[in-house]
């Protein structure tokens, strides 16, 4: 069975980024948007990055314009917005489709793992263990500092 780390994505500069490079890390994959009610979650995602990066967590932001056209900008615009407004230092990637006929291979894989189904909105979070397997999924309403997300991250880091 294919794991997340068998895929290749593009970073926000448009370069191929094999996810194999993240094998052995815990990944928090989030579809992000700059003009969403959940956009302030960037701050919390950056706090998770700062707190857990040395233990092996990689927060990965995938801009997505699928929900309410809330990420209309170019990759350059998105990166500038995130850096200036939220001090984002976690890794950002090329704009993707999280659902629909042009769904990225990454999201096609993420959304087949139970609880399977389409991404519902911006800032949905997928937690991937060190073996490249999706181990948890959190809806947009689960904030980055929520006890349930932090517990799942700490559990994955400790495994």
Q: Which residues are catalytic?
A: 36
CA–CA separation, 153 vs 99, rounded Å?
Answer: 25
User: Which residue do the tokens 């006929």 mark?
Assistant: 101
Q: How many CB atoms lie within 10 A of CB 40?
A: 13
DSSP assignment of the chain, as one string? ---GGG-EEEBTTS-EEEGGGGTTSEEEEEEE-TTSTTTTHHHHHHHHHHHHGGGTEEEEEEEB-TTTT---S-HHHHHHHHHHHH---SEEB--B-SSSTT--HHHHHHTTSSS-S---STT-EEEE-TTS-EEEEE-TTS-TT-HHHHHHHHHHHH-
């Amino acid at each position: 069975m294919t794991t997340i780390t068998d895929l290749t994505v593009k970073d926000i500069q448009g370069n191929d980024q094999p996810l194999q490079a993240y094998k052995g890390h815990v990944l928090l994959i989030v579809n992000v948007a700059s003009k969403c009610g959940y956009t302030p979650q960037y701050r919390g995602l950056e706090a998770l990055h700062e707190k857990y990066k040395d233990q092996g967590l990689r927060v990965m932001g995938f801009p997505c314009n699928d929900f309410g056209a809330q990420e209309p900008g170019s990759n350059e615009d998105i990166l500038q917005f995130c850096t200036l407004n939220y001090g984002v230092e976690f890794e950002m990637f090329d704009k993707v489709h999280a659902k629909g006929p042009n769904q990225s291979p990454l999201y096609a894989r993420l959304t087949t793992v139970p609880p399977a189904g389409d991404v519902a909105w911006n800032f949905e979070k997928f937690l991937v263990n060190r073996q490249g397997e999706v181990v948890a999924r959190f809806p947009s309403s689960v904030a980055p500092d929520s006890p349930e997300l932090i517990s799942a991250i700490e559990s994955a880091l400790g495994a």
